[in-house]
Structures are given as C-alpha cells and as structure tokens.
Structure 1
Amino acid sequence: MNFSHFSALGRLSRRIYSAFLFATVVPTALAGAIGVYLSLQTLKNETLRNLDQEVSVRSQGIGRFFDQLSSELLYLANERGLIDVIAARQAKNITLLQISTSRLESDYAALARLYPHIYQIRLIAADGQEWVRIDRKWDNVYVVPRAALQSKGDRYYFREAMEVKLGQIYVSPLDLNVEFGKIEWPERPVIRVATPVAGANGQKIGVLIINLHADILMEQIQQMANARQGVAYLLDNQGHYVSRSADSKTGEFSMEEVGKLNTIFPAAITKNLIESGSSPKLGDGWIIAHAPINYARQAIAENSKGKWRIALVFPERQLFLAVFNLYLLYAVLFAALVVTALGGYALSRRLLRPLEDLSKETDAIIRGDFTRRVSVSGNDEIAALGNKFNSMAGRLYESSLAINANRDRLEQEVRTRTQELEHERASLAAVIEHTADGILAIDNQSDICLLNPAAICLLGGQPARPGVSLTLFWPQWPDIVRDAMNTSLRCDVQLPQQIISLAVTPTSAGFIVVARDVSRERAIQEERRELDRQMFQMEKLTTLGELAMGMAHEIGNPLAGMKAVAQAMQYEEDIPPGLIEALKRMEAEVDRLSDFLRSFHGFATPHAIHTIPCDLAHILDDVLFWTRKDAMNRGISFKLESFDSLPALAADPQQLKQVFLNLLMNAVHAMPEGGVVTVKASIAENSARIQICDTGVGIEPPVLNRIFEPFFTTRREGTGLGLAIVRKIVEQHGGTIDARSTPGYETCFSITWPLTGNQYV
C-alpha cells in the first residue's frame, strides 16, 4: 500500500478510512478467532451433553420396562390361580388340577399377548419338569400341550433361579434359546427373568420363568447407532456384549466376550466402558457415552446383580467436521476483509470528496427540505450520481406532498380495519372456545399448534399443550396424514376407550382437524345390527320348526311301514344270513331316521338326549356300511387312524351316527373326481378330537363362514340343514365343531368331544 496517497486525502477521507480499518477489519478478525474457539467448545459440550442424555434416557426406558415386567412376574408367582394348581397337585385332585391349570394357562397367555416381546412363560417344578408353558410363534400365542412339556433341570438358569430367595427376581445373561438340545432357529438373543414359587408350607417348589426376546434392547441400541452413525453396545451382567452399527442388517447380531473390545478401542476407552467410568468421555480419538440399566432394585437377587449397560461410541473426528467448515469460512472472510480494505483505500480517493457534498444536501433533505440540489461537474459516474440525486430530490418533493395527503386517510382506514379484525377475532375465538366439537390446528411435523377445551377432553383430559406431537395421543395420525395430504378426509380413530370421528382439512401450514366422540353412536349401531341378526335367526328357527313338524308327520308313516316289512322278512324261512344282517341294519337305519326326524323336529324345540358309552369305531363301521358303496362308485376310499386308544364316548348313539353320516356324505359329495377321506382321532387334555378331512374341491372363505347356518347350501338338491343339525347335536353333547378349508385342496371338520373324569385318568 502506498501511504503517500493516504496523506494526500482530506481529513474526512482519512477519518473514514481509518474508522473503516479499526471498526471493521480488526473487530471482525478478533470476533472470528473468538467465534471459532467458542463454536468449538459449544459444539463439543452440547454434543457430549446430548449424547449422555440420549443414552441415559434410553437406559431409563429399558429399566422401566424391566420394572414393570418384574412386577407382573412377582404378581403371577403369588396369584390365586397358581395357589390353586399347587394345592390341587398336593391333594392329587385331578379334576381340580385340570380346571386350575387351564385357568393359569389362560392368565399366562393373556400376559404374553400384552407384552409382544415375551417369548415364553414357563412354570417349572423343583425337579426341572415343566408344568405349564406358553409359547409365541410370530404373532400367535398358544399353550403347549402337556405331552410336549420338557424337563429343564439341566439348564443353568433353572439351577440359579432355584437359589434365589422368595420374592426376589433372577435375571439371566444374554444367550440363545435351546429346545430339545438344539439352538432354536432363527437365532435370537434371549433374556430370562425368573422368580421362585412357594408351596403352602412356604418352601420353594419350583420357579416361574419368562423368556424375553432381547429385540426390545436391540431396537434401542440400533436406534442410537442410526441416529449418531456410530456403534451402539449392550453389555450384560456376565461379561458379554452385543453391538449394532448404522449399517447392521435386521436380525443380525453377534455375542462376544468383553475382552474383545481391547482389539477395537484403545485401552483407556475399553477400561472406561467395562469399569463404568465417567460418561461421556472424549479421548484417544473416540467419543463414548454409556449408562447402566437399573431395574427391580429392591427385588433383584444377588446372583443376578451385575452391570447391564448400553453404550454409544463413534470417532471424535465426526464431531469436528462442522468446526473444519468454520475454519474455512473464516479464512474466506479474512481474505475478503483484506480485499475490502485495499478496495476501500482506492475508492476513497475517488469518491469521498464528491460524496461530502452529497452528504450535506442529503442531510438537508432528511430534515425535510426537498428544495435542495447538488452541483457536480463532469460526465463520469459521480456526475451522473449528482444528476440522479437532483432528480430524486424533485420526485421526493412531489411524493412528500402526496404522502402527507394520503397519510391521514390511511391512518383512519387502519384504525377502522383494526377494530373490525379485533371484533372478528374475538367472535371466532368464542366460537372455537365453546363449541362441542374438538378443533385442533396441526403443523406439518404433527405438532399441536392450537386446540380448544373440547379437544383437550378428546385427548384424554391430559395437558396437551401446543408443541406436543399428536401422535402421542392418536398413534394412527401418521397414516391419516398420508391419506389427507392432498384432499379433505373423514375417518375414525379407534382408541382403547373411545371412537373419535375426524374431519381433516389440509392447509399450507398443516391440517385443521374437527373431532367428535362417536363411541356411543357406534355402540348403538352395533347393538342394533346384533338385534336385527338375532331377530332374523329367530324367524329362521321358527320356519324350521314348522317345516320339521310337517316333515316328521309326512315321513313318519312310510318309515313305520318300511320297518314292519323289514321285521317280517326276518322271520321268513330260507333267508340267507347276509340278507338277514342287511335287514337288521336296514331296521336300525329306519330307527335312526325316525330318531333323526325327531331331532329334526327338535331343532326348533330341543329335547333331552340319552347318553350311553359308545364305541366310536363301531359307530363308524355302521356309518361306512351305508356310505362305502356310493364312495366306491366315485373312486373314494376311507382311511381310519388312531381309534384303538380312544375310550368310549358318552353320547346318544343314533345322534352320533347322524353326525358322522352327514359329515362323511358331505366329504363324498365334495370329491367328484375321487380321493381319500381320512378320519383320525386323538386325545387332548380332557376331550377327544375327531377330524374328518377330504381331498376335494374345498370351500371358499365367504361360503365357509356360513356353512353352519340353517337353510344355507351350495348344492341344488341340498336343504341346508345337515351341518346345522350336526352342530346342534355336537353342542347338545357339550362339544364343539369347526371347519377349515383350502380351496382346490382339502376341507377338514374338527369335532371336540368331552371325556368324563374317569376316562381322562
């Protein structure tokens, strides 16, 4: 820079240029240096604080889940149903044991449905044999049959849980589930939570164990890894860990010894993580934050106490990428300041002197004297600027006159319009405040911006202040937003205690929602539909009763004649033995048909049944005698399985024949191209289960839902009463019947027939 030119400038030029240097360049450079340092420290401290808070919040959430699960486990270990089971086993009362065990299985199944992360619930006796077991397969919860219960006496978690004091909780380390000596596939990490169970004398007689999918923990650490693009860890109480990174695939995991961490991180970082050092910690090129998972603090057993922890680790360089951008920004800024200083020096020589005149005349115009003008000689840009200044001053003079004239008018209009807007706003606020429907304004991030008292009531009366996400109250809201993105939408939100009807209107800033509680309206509609269905069913049953009495009257007399002829022919001489046997069977079938007519008549007017011990194999032999010929003509064969071990059934033999005759004939009609009808029996708990399966055309789902309705049939020659009578007979005997079908493949009817207590033993 040539300072000789600087000394030649006028006093104002020197002062402006000096002020420019000391007021702009120096403070900006100093502020840049301080800004870089403070930005670095603030970013570091804020990131570490947020990181520690995130890990702590997630560990607390996991701890609360285990607290709730432990409370449920201690409650189940002392509930009345378990006491009844123990008492029944000690008293060797089989009937009471079956009832109390079924009730206990129902309670355990209800708990498993409540917690989707529960994998198994088991009650194991002191000898290691399972008493009760509830399993989850995918989304289905079912009770394991008693014949499939296993012995778990050799499992480490059973032995350690038996050592726990009554009223305390045992928590196993993280491992894989083993069934029948093999690791269950697909592999999933499992945590077992158990507590001992006491008998009437206060002695431990077994343990109650819940197998918990570790997915609930894996999801938390996966979310941390995704949010920070780092690696999240879960360390159990036995020196193992599982890690998840942002690029981990769903379902993949690997359990490792904590000692392996020494091969991944520096010794100081590994020691801090394993020995629960300070958190968060920054050093050796890494950032680490970890927090313990505290749960069931008062009830946890000594052999289960350990340092379950979650941790998040990522490289330190990731934190300072933004700081490097700041350094670059300030470097560019510094270069710009140097260029600006040099340019300011050059321009000041050319501009400042004429600008002093412009400044004086501008001050006059600022004071309101629009008659002032400036005189600048030359034909360069400065002269052009002077001419433009004079033109501007002239226009300002004209504009000032117009502005002064319009100012008063505009002020009056503003006052009038302001009063009108205030009145409209007050009216609208009163309408929104006192309307019976809930009104909410929701932004594009699903946060509540505005709501009235009626909306607060619809949100459960909770303090739903503006800024809170609507998804916390209505989990279905994201789906509603997707459907209402481009058009208005009316829909219902189904909540546990109420049904809310919504009218959603999209706006540029989000959505306007009008909500109303329609729970009572929906309940009334449902009750009305149920009453209509019951009235229609009663009308059908009344018609069936009239039809039954007419048919019984018209068919009864010919049946009596047929029976008389069959009885008379049996006393003829020279009758072949085979024909006599056929006549006896014919007479028996006539009797059965007569009984059927009476049961058909009794479909609308039920009558008492007379049960005797019935051999199911003998019953089926009689039924097959009448159906085998028709089946052979169609190319159909019968296959009977597992009837040797089936005890006698308490049933009305004629009605039992009617049941199997209808089902077998339906199976024959369902296989026009031939096939196999399989009839197999089994014993499950205190009932017999008989299945009749064909390989026919199957039944479509809409038809399958109505096959037991009276008068519903898909055959032109059918009456629609066969399966309705079958279900009525089965239900009169205390049993149940259901059907499943795969169209084009098979149809299977399952009958559950109750057994007596002696039969079960």
Structure 2
Amino acid sequence: MPARRSIAGTLALLGAGVAAVSVVLALLLVRVFDSLLLAGLVAIGVGLLLSMWVMRRASRPVRSLFRALAGTALSYRDGDFSFGLRWPHHDELGDLVAAHNELGGVLREQRLGLAQRELLLDTMVQNTPVAMLLVADGGHVVYANLAARRLLNEGRKIEGLALATLVQAAPPALSEALDRTGDGLFSVGDGDEEEVYHLARRGFRLNGRPHELLLLRQLTTELRRQEVQTWKKVIRVISHELNNSLAPVASLAHSGAELTRRGQTQKLESIFAMIEERARHLEGFIRGYARFAKLPSPRLEATPWTVLVDRLRSQITFAVDGALPPEAVRVDVPQMEQALLNLLKNAHESGSAPEDVQLRVRRGSGLLRIEVLDRGTGMGEAVLANALVPFYSTKRSGTGLGLALAREIAEAHGGRIGLANREGGGLQVSLVLPVSDD
C-alpha cells in the first residue's frame, strides 16, 4: 500500500517549490537588471503565474472528481446505484471516494432487497382471492389486483379509471354497497348462482393525500360450510328441545295412568295442566321454525306507509327519520310487518338507546329502501358475515331466525337485505325492494 499523504502536505510542497523557483529566479535576474527591486518584482510576477499554472494543473483531477461525485449523486437520486468512482491517490479524497463507493454498494443491496420484497408482495396481492382496490380522493382507481379486475372489468386493467364509471356496469347490489359508507355484506346473483361478498373500507393518507382501500371478500364457500354446521346445530337444538318436552310429558302421562289405576284422581288436574303447558311450549317452538321453513308466497296489496307504521308502533317504539313516501307500497303486509318487527326488536336489543332506534324510508328510481338504524354496539366482521345465516345467533336464548326470516321475506318480494356498521357506532339494516315508477 502506498504511503498516505494529505492534501494539505501536497499543497505545501507545491507552494514551497514555487517559492524556491521564485527565489532562484530573483538571484539570477539581479545580475541581468543590476537592480534588486526590479529583479524581485519580476521574480514575484513569474512566481504568481507559475503558482496559478501549478494549482490549475494540480486541481484538474480534483475538479473531475467533484463532477463525477455530482453525477453519481444525481444517479442515486434517480434510483440508479450502478456507478462507482476511482481515485488513484491515498489521501482524504481517496477516503471520500471509498465512502461514496461503499454508500453506493449499500444502496444497491437495499434496492435489490426492496425489489425482491416488492415482487413477493405484489405476487401475493395479485393472486389473493380478495379483490383489492386503492382509490384516490378524486375517485380514480390507483391500484387494483387481478380479483378486482375480474370483478369490475372482466379482467382488464382498471388503474386510472373512475370507480363511478366502473360500478355503472357492475351488479346493482355491488354498486349500492360501494355507494354506502362503512363495511357491509351484500349478495350478487340469484338462486344457486348467488355469491355473497363482504366489503371492508379503510381510509388513510398516502403522499399527503387521502386514499381509500376497498377489500371485497367472497364468502359464498365459507357461508355454505357454515350453513352445514348451522343445520347440524339446529338438529341438535330441536332434538334437545323435543327431549326436554317429551320426556316430562311421558313421565307425567305414566304418573297420571298410575294414579288413575289407584283411584287417586285429586292430582290428575295438576298433571294434565303440566302436560298442557309442555305441549303448548313445544307447539310454539315448532311454530317458530315452521314459519321460517314454510313462508308462503307474498300476497301483494297497496298499503299506505302510515298504516304500516301505525301497525308497527302498536307493538314496538321507534322514531321515523324523515318523511314517509306519499305513494302506497305494494307488499304482503303481515310478512313485511313481521320482517320489520324483527329488525326493530334486534335494534332495541343491540344496546342502543330507545330514542336512537329509527326507521327510514327512501324511494329512488325503481327501488325502495327501508332502513332500520340503531346506535348499539354494531357487529364484528365474523358476526356480520354470518348474521343472515339461518339459526346463527350470538344471543344465549336466540333462535337465529329474526334476520334470516327478514331476508327470506325481502327475497320473496324480489328484493334483498344488507347489513352495514354505521359511522359513529351502531348498525344499519337495509331492505331494498323493487318498485314501479308509474
């Protein structure tokens, strides 16, 4: 390794050399001009010119190095870390070049690692079954994975397109779910082709600007698996309830027969009363399940909204948000009354204050939206995904039929039901029915 030298030492040697040359030149010029002053002035002038030439020549490699440093810094700014520098001298500038090259190496390694992680993350995001959409504040799609492209644009690229334009060609249920605020559950299609989705929305700031991330998760397979588990559960519930009622009835009937045989009839009345009580309990239990399983086709009749609301208010308290539509609604009144009554009861049991339980009715182009609102605890993602499954309940004594029956009634009327958590807490249950604009 060559001996280390400093820039200051090199400059000192050059200055000493120029000074020595100037002194020697002055001694020689004294003999020529025969004047010490004139010889000194000439020697000084020549020394200044010589020092300027020496400094310019000596600084030429340094200036080239500085230009190279500026160029590599600009390349680093543009994300190109492939450049390196070479300095032949072992001095302070050599240390600077070595540190610069080491920085470039570190940045190259970091860039390579970051590129590998980005590739892995993009591969995972693109191939996930969850449709992911990143929407800017103006409503344009910034990023979308393959599932989102298939859902909204038949697999074609949708980055840069307006979300409002994309949802115009989407199924009405999807368009309606995207128009709502907050998370929600909705279904697309009918019958065996029905697909159930869960929509989650998350807002955040990216590069100082507000963005929203939309996640659309298909729950059809999970719900069908849950339905199988639910049917197993309901069979266990019915079996348990039948055993709890039939075993005492059989025991009481045997006791009654034994007392009759002995002629002790004074206790028969209480035995018969207990048998009747158990039979009526079992009858009510079976009737509740039969009502769900044997829902008849709706008999539509035009009914003013004031009549339907008065029927509901005779059974439960709630407030009406806004004005009711002046047009009569064509529904099966007993069925719709039962569906709304179930939803209003759930709202009261959600932990909401009674005055916050509201009924809102809105009529749009070809659609009637009936909403039941509360300010309770809302629903978690798992409960929201399973709330409409028959016999699914988080209540200890619940049958899991309230929302399921409301869904069956809505679909029997050609409509659908949707659930969404409200901003500020609470739940919004929407019954959407088709209506004629005539």
> TM (normalized to structure 1)?
0.26
- Answer 1 or 2: which has greater strand percent: 1
Which one scores higher on RCO, CA 8 angstroms, separation ≥ 6? 2
Q: Give TM-score scaled by structure 2 length.
A: 0.41
Larger helix proportion, structure 1 or 2?
Answer: 2
